[in-house]
Chains A and B, each alone.
Chain A
Amino acid sequence: MSGADTRHPGLNLGQTDAGGHDAAEEVVFGFWVFLMSDMVLFAILFATYATMSTHGQAGGPAPLDLVDLGSALAETLLLLGSSFTFGMASLALKYREGRTRLVAWLALTFVLGAVFVGWEVHDVHVWITQDDAPPQRSGFLSAHYLLTATHGLHVAAGLLWMAVIAVQIGWFGLIREVKLRLMRLALFWHMLDIVWIGIFTFVFLYGAVR
């Protein structure tokens, strides 16, 4: 039971769909391995950021000049909120017969994610137009944009993926393939929030105090 029926990261289908639960083990594990590889990519970007934000300012803007704590907090809450709502969607997927709740939670997640991306785009706009801090200005800014944009692109890709799955929910219903995809998307989404913890901590908060 509880011990034996958790087979992979994320919410397990368990007894609510035994066949799907069996099928999930391999694909979810595979996706988990992919996420680990992706984490290494982010780690490299963080390490590069750590050095370039210190040595690569070239007389241009410093980390402090880009920080707007309010904006960073709003983005953080949006993404954390969306991670939570995706959790609710996962529960709906597991326990609810109908699709309504699932779709509602997914829609909410999508909106939060989309607002997050929009907010980031707005940030970039402010940095470039008001702070005169385009990525071409210094090594620090190059690293700053690459790190945040890689995360932003991941979130945007997650949104696209969510949209495709939404279409599939409508088209095929909650068949096993769709369920398994949703479970992987959930891992992806939670993972992006974890990466964001690193970003708001080291880029924004630490940027504000050093």
Chain B
Amino acid sequence: MTDRPEGIPESEADRPAREFRRYVTGGVLSLALTLAAFGAVALRLVAGQGALVVLGLLALAQIVVQFRYFLHIDLQKSHRDDLQLILFTALIVGLMVGGTIWILFDQHTRM
């Protein structure tokens, strides 16, 4: 995802500026999401299970932001390998974490 339509060559000169803006955007968005999460807790806007969902979503958003702006993972063709790897890792992580929690919580309720 670039800021310009495909096929139009960018000028080499404004590339550093663009890449700089990218980090700034990432930093600002991350900061905002961080403050939102801390604020929600500090101001007691969230509680209980609902908090888990809200905080989890904020964290997920920030993770996506950092992948996008700091690690430069995006949806371009040439990037598909890395993206696939991340998605596969996410699948495995989901299976392992989800499975572990499912199994151990279930066992706990039966003790």
Identify A40's interface contact among B9, B12, B42, B93, CB under 8 A: B93
Question: B93 to A43, Cβ gap below 8 A?
Answer: yes
Q: What 9 A-B pairs come out closest when comparing CB atoms?
A: A87-B23, A47-B100, A201-B59, A43-B93, A84-B27, A47-B97, A51-B104, A209-B51, A190-B70
> Is A24's beta carbon under 8 Å from chain B?
no
CA A55 to CA B82, docked complex, whole Å: 37
B23-A12 in contact (CB<8A):
no
Considering only CB atoms, which chain A residue lies closest to B77 in the complex? Answer: A3
Give 25 CB contacts A-B under 8 Å: A9-B82, A29-B81, A32-B82, A39-B93, A40-B93, A43-B93, A50-B100, A51-B104, A54-B108, A72-B38, A73-B34, A80-B34, A84-B23, A84-B26, A87-B26, A91-B16, A91-B20, A94-B16, A190-B66, A197-B62, A198-B59, A198-B63, A201-B56, A205-B40, A206-B52
Contact with B along A1-18 (1 / 0, CB 8 A): 111111111111001000
Chain B residues, Cβ within 8 Å of A2: 2, 10
Q: Please name the residue on chain B nearest to A86 by beta carbon.
A: B70
Chain A contact residues, majority secondary structure = helix
Asked whether, in the complex, the Cβ of A197 is within 8 Å of the Cβ of B89, the reply is: no
Pair B101/A91 contact, Cβ less than 8 Å = no
Q: How many residues of B contact A (CB 8 A)?
A: 55
CB distance from B101 to the nearest CB of A (A): 5
Interface residues on A, range: 35 or more
Residues of B near A55 (CB, < 8 A) are 104, 108
The majority secondary structure among interface residues of chain B is helix
Bound Cα distance from A94 to B86, whole angstroms: 25
Q: Which residues in chain B, 29-50, are within 8 Å of chain A measured between CB atoms?
A: 30-31, 34, 37-38, 40-42, 44, 46-48
Q: Is the pair A210, B48 in contact by a Cβ cutoff of 8 Å?
A: yes
Q: Which chain B residues have a beta carbon within 8 Å of chain A's beta carbons?
A: 2, 6, 9-10, 12, 16, 19-20, 23, 26-27, 30-31, 34, 37-38, 40-42, 44, 46-48, 51-52, 55-56, 58-59, 62-63, 66-67, 70-73, 76-79, 81-82, 85-86, 89, 92-93, 96-97, 100-101, 104-105, 108
